Amino acid sequence: MAAFLTGTPQPAGDPASGVGVLFRPGDPGSALDADGLNPVVYWIVAGLLLAGLVTDGLWAWLRLRRHTHRIEAEVSGLQVGDVDFGKNLVVIRLQVFPGKGGLVTKPTKSREERRVPILEPLRSVLERLTNGKQPEDSLLFGPKGGYLTTATVRDAMNWDGTVAKLGLPDLTRHGLRHTWATWMADAGIPLHVIQDILRHASMETTRGYLHPDDRHLASAAEQANAFLSAAGQRKHARRSGPTARGL
């Protein structure tokens, strides 16, 4: 970009030559094989690009942090009455978070209730958590009966040790949302339903959560092979034959 702005030839060096610039900061043109490259313009452009990358990274980190705190608040806001075994749903309608003078309870950020289906492996856990309690009682607590945070959840689950044993040391709790979304898509649940449960504003955001493997390709190949086989063609001919004769 610096070469374009100054009207000099584009660098002929490969990407690895960029490392050489660090050792010759006063003459980046020599390292990049770009004669006449203005070092002042080069470093201004490089600084602006680096600042942009840092800004984007910070924005992504802050957004993820706000998202994590929102989920913390919504989980802490769950009450026993929010679990509807009849409809097989958990209703998220409140959030609880630390504030001045103690915990603050208020509606969710969008003030819209969100309904999450109860999967069968979770039903027995929810039955245990709700048994003998009043509808307005909190559903979940921290280890010492206090506010539930990602730190207390991590400690209670021995998260670091668990993911190490699984051989997935980089796995995060937010990553489990991606896993859940992928499993639901693989199960055939419509994408707009997954989007609604995850509370994504954009369908493209939901698509970004999906990480399918190659099994769907193998399944597609099996279906295609079955259709193209002699038996599959005879079956197709029987189905389409009457319609064709009718035409």
Alpha-carbon torsion (123, 128, 129, 132), positive or negative: positive
Tokens of residue 68, six digits: 């994590």
Q: Across-strand partners of 92? A: 114
Long-range contacts of 80-83 (CB under 8 A, 24+ apart): 80/129, 80/130, 80/133, 80/134, 80/135, 80/136, 80/137, 80/138, 80/139, 81/135, 81/136, 82/139, 83/118, 83/126, 83/129, 83/130, 83/139
pTM score above 0.75? no
pLDDT at 104: 79
Helices (H), 119-228: 120-130, 150-157, 159-165, 173-186, 191-198, 203-208, 215-228
Q: Which of 215, 220, 165, 210 is nearest to 184 (CA)?
A: 210
Per-residue pLDDT of the chain (247 residues; tens, 9 = 90+): 444 444 555 555 455 555 455 555 566 555 555 565 666 665 566 666 666 655 555 444 445 455 556 777 788 888 999 999 999 999 988 888 777 877 778 887 777 788 889 988 889 999 999 999 999 998 887 777 777 776 777 787 788 899 899 898 888 878 888 888 888 888 888 999 999 888 888 889 888 888 877 666 777 788 888 888 888 788 777 776 655 444 4
| CA angle (196 as vertex; 200, 75 as ends), nearest 5 | 80
Tokens of residue 11, six digits: 């660098």
